[in-house]
Each structure stands twice: as C-alpha cells, then as structure tokens.
Amino acid sequence: MRKGSLAAVSALAISIALSAAPASAQTPSLVLYDGKSVTLDGKSTVATAIAIAGGEILRVGGDRQIRNMASRSTRSVDLGGWTVIPGLVDSHQHVIRAGVTHRSEVDWSDVTSLDQGLARIAAAAKARPGQWVLVPGGWHVDQLKEGREPTSAELAKSGGKVSHASGPFAVLGAK
C-alpha cells in the first residue's frame, strides 16, 4: 500500500472513531430499572437497571446511574423487582415435547365439537391400546359448539388413557 493511501485510510478510521459517540454517552430510548438484570457476563453480574438504544444494551448498572442517562424522550419502565435476562428470546416452541410425544398427540386445531374431538381420541386409543393419548394446545373451547372443555367422564368414555391440558386446566381420563 502506498504511503498516501495508508495515511488517508488511517485518517478516515480516526475520524470515524472520533465521530462515533461512545455507548455510555448515547441517550437511551429505553431504561429498565428497579429490577434484577441478569447479565450472564463472566462475573454473573446482577444489576438493577439497563439502558437500551437502537435495540442494543448501552449500559447496565444501578438505578441512579442508569436513570441519569435518560432524557425526556426516554421511556422508563419500573420493573418492580422482576428479573430481566437480556438476550434471552423464548420463541415458545414446544420442540422437546413435540419430539417426545408427537406420535401420541391428537390434533384438535380444526375440531368444531366435543363429539368430533372425542371421536378422534377414541380412534387414537383404539390404534394404540394401553398407551396415553395426549390432546395438547393448539385449540380453544371457543371453537367448540359446546363452548366448554371435555369432562373427565367424557374422556374416560373415549376408551383410552387420556391427558388434556389447556393453560392451568387439566383433565385426565383413564381406563
């Protein structure tokens, strides 16, 4: 590389470095405070506040330090002691359950009545005698003309060991 080109590249790199504001000098668009911010750094640091801008964490630290970075346009959220784990994205996929129990699950996503759903359970129980038949999520009582969950008695009549869970509600029917 020629001397002139090297000097020009160096000058450009220096001007870019000097023009970019350090993360600590940027104004956050979001401040989360009064929480437990688990940083997962090498020291397992737990801070009480986080400053965020442009989808990136600017700084973690104490409430006063981080809140002092805020401007009038910064959205501030009081976490009320709740825990935040930056970077943890829960896509809410049930891949382990699906991998382990897929063959024993009965899909009710397009069922419109309890009779139709219970018939599917009965067919699965007949095809796999003595094995559990699972009816996981993917459906809601509002799609059923009856507008309710199946009862334990209805599940027991379906002819198999059945497990159905929907939110905090679970029904078991066993033969």
Residues 64 and 100 in one domain: no
| 128 in the same domain as 67 | no
Residues 115 and 168 in one domain: yes
Query: Is 107 in contact with 134 (CB distance < 8 Å)?
Result: no
- Residue 79 and residue 99 in one domain: no
Encode pLDDT of 67-106 as tens digits: 999 999 999 999 999 998 877 666 666 666 667 766 778 8
Question: What pLDDT does 27 receive?
Answer: 93
Domain carrying residue 128: 95-173
Q: Is the pLDDT of residue 36 over 90?
A: yes
pTM: 0.44
In whole numbers, what is the pLDDT of the chain averaged over residues?
Answer: 77
Q: Note whether residue 11 is domain-resident.
A: no
Which residue type sits at 21? A
Q: How far is 58 from 85, CA to CA, in rounded Å?
A: 15
Q: What is the pLDDT of residues 117-148, one digit of tens each?
A: 999 988 988 888 887 788 877 788 899 999 99
Task: Indicate the residue among 32, 57, 84 that finishes a domain.
Answer: 84
- Claim to verify: residue 67 and residue 41 sit in the same structural domain: yes
* Residue 5 falls inside a structural domain: no
Report the largest interatomic distance among the alpha carbons of the chain, rounded to a whole angstrom.
88
Residue of 29 and 168 predicted with greater confidence: 29
Share of the chain above pLDDT 90, in %: 35
Among 35, 64, 84, give the residue marking a domain's end.
Answer: 84
Is the domain of 101 the same as that of 149? yes
